[in-house]
Structure 1
Amino acid sequence: MSVRIYLDGNPVHDYVLKAMHEQVPGSKLCREYEESDVAVVFGVYKAAIKASYFRASVIARQQLKDRKVIVIDSGYVKRGDDKDSYYSVGLDGINGYGDHKNIGCPSDRWDALGVELKPMKEKGDHLICGQVPWDASLSGVNYIEWLYKAIDKYGEHGRYRPHPLFDYKVSGVKRSIETTIEEALEQARYVVAYNSNSLVDGYINGCAPLPGGFSMINRMVDRQQWANNLAYAQWRPDEMGEAFRRMTNG
């Protein structure tokens, strides 16, 4: 099986990609496209980020030939940008657009995270969490239009927390003044976001998630199983070999 791992010049990306290379025998680091059974990239296409154009072409070429592409990106719990942080690993895309091979997973990885699933809340307001419109997960979405619809629906009894990288000024809703997302979540019963990781933070902290702003929240969901599956969607740099084998059934 031929494996090509594509560096992109970003120090964090390349650290994680090189970690996978070191743990996958026979893999090759590349900066230009080469045909292979499996390609590995960090991130997907972002219209506003020129550096993402090449990785988008790698993904497209692999899919055109019906070959695998593993996409690494930011993780969900204990995420960050160092060797002890977790990074998502999936086939053909990120988040819900990719296959993380994580259905019906055991609890061992979640237990190892040492994160408590707090009881679901019965009181609190709606915390509307902002995102950056140029994020890959919002591709094709008129995010500002959606945001104002969410504020019209939930703003009267809610708070708006802008993304740290996009302090968009809105009206019709009180602004969250808390410093951290954890502090902001303390007063919330619901978290409203299009598809932000704040929905994950909120669900762990007992807040019902409203993805897309208007989804049903009373569905029967086994939250512990959801957490177990989530832990199998993310991996540390020193676990990238295991993640690769899971993606390729190797």
Structure 2
Amino acid sequence: MKIVIYERTAQNRLEVEFIHEKLAPGLSAFGDVVDISLEKYVACDVSVILWSPRNGSPERARAARAIRNLHGKNLLIFETPIVRTIREWHFRVGFDHVHRFGRFSPGKMSNDRAKAMGLTIAPWRTGDGPIIIAGQLPGDFSLDGLDIIEWAVDVAGHVQRISKRPLCIRPHPLDPSHDWLMAGAALGVEVSREPLQHDLARAGTWIAYTSGSAIDAVMTGVPTICMSEANFAWEVSAHSLASLDKPWTGDRSQWLSNLAHTQWTNDEIGEGLCWRSLRSLVEPN
């Protein structure tokens, strides 16, 4: 199998070092031919890029998009981690998409890795705590063009019509836009810029589009409504606002076991453990 890593998709010197010192050795651990390229595109079985095709500087993002456009399937993408509560850095690693539509594990995985990572899930919460609507960064790759503020306003307006429970809109912490405050004022609802753990601790229901905060909510035991199939918490959530009074509270154990196989440390990548898990997912061209 021929694998090409595109150095042009790295953002800085440390990431270039990661490519040469960890990524390339790890991908070659099972006898595959691995090249590091500065070219726009080289025909191969697996193309490897760092970060989503829309993230980072325009030049880096354009390089990643060119590879995505020219390669097709078996595009291996290294992204930010799914579970962010672990202190050691992990890369999210999967084929062809950075969210749930990607290929991250070969099937139902054992719980050994989740246990080793210390991942736990709290019992499902009951009660009538506030309904929190999770915002995202406008233009985020996972939104596929959706206007996230417009979505939040529409969701909040509908929730107000069907429920008397307290309602809160929570912008992404890296989005300082005053548009969120204006939307909250127009609707007469709270807009929270508190830390995520603060809002998770008080939430009765969490509503998200593709926000990764839905994963945190589900792990914390907050009944969650995911309104996009691309959300990693789709399997362990409700999918309609009609579910506000009858939340999904099923088993999450297999979901957690599979989730643990979406992300890997630099050392695990360098030792070939990540590629050993993913290699069987390469599809024939």
Question: What TM-score do the two structures reach when normalised by structure 2?
Answer: 0.77
CA deviation after TM superposition for structure 1 residue 3, in Å: 1.0
Q: 1:102 to 1:157 in 2, by over 3 A?
A: farther
Note if contact 2:68-2:75 (Cα within 8 Å) is conserved in structure 1: yes
Whole-Å Cα distance in 1 between the matches of residues 263 and 26 of structure 2?
16
Does the residue aligned with 2:146 lie in a helix, a strand or coil? coil
2:11 is matched with 10
Q: 1:159 aligns with which of 149, 165, 168?
A: 168
Please say which structure displays the higher CA radius of gyration: 2
Question: What TM-score do the two structures reach when normalised by structure 1?
Answer: 0.87
Q: 1:224 aligns with which of 243, 253, 274?
A: 253
Whole-Å Cα distance in 2 between the matches of residues 150 and 93 of structure 1?
26
Matched, 1:196 2:196: no
Whole-Å Cα distance in 2 between the matches of residues 141 and 188 of structure 1?
25
Whole-Å Cα distance in 2 between the matches of residues 102 and 126 of structure 1?
35
Note if contact 2:209-2:227 (Cα within 8 Å) is conserved in structure 1: yes
Corresponding pairs, count: 244
1:1-250 to 2 correspondence within 5 Å? 1-7=1-7, 8-11=9-12, 13-14=15-16, 16-18=18-20, 19-25=22-28, 26-32=33-39, 33-46=41-54, 50=58, 51-63=60-72, 68-78=74-84, 84-123=88-127, 124-154=129-159, 157-167=166-176, 168-169=180-181, 170-171=183-184, 172=187, 173-178=189-194, 180-212=195-227, 215-216=239-240, 218-219=247-248, 221-240=250-269, 241-249=272-280
Q: 1:14 to 1:154 in 2, by over 3 A?
A: farther
Does the residue aligned with 1:232 lie in a helix, a strand or coil? helix
Does the residue aligned with 2:92 lie in a helix, a strand or coil? strand
Does the residue aligned with 1:121 lie in a helix, a strand or coil? coil
The range that moved more, 223-232 or 29-38, is 29-38
Q: Which runs of 5+ in 2 are unaligned?
A: 229-237
The range that moved more, 169-178 or 28-37, is 169-178
2:231 is matched with none
Q: 1:35 to 1:79 in 2, by over 3 A?
A: farther
CA deviation after TM superposition for structure 1 residue 181, in Å: 0.7
Q: 1:59 to 1:162 in 2, by over 3 A?
A: same
> What CA RMSD, in Å, does the superposition of the two structures yield over aligned residues?
2.5
CA deviation after TM superposition for structure 1 residue 49, in Å: 5.2
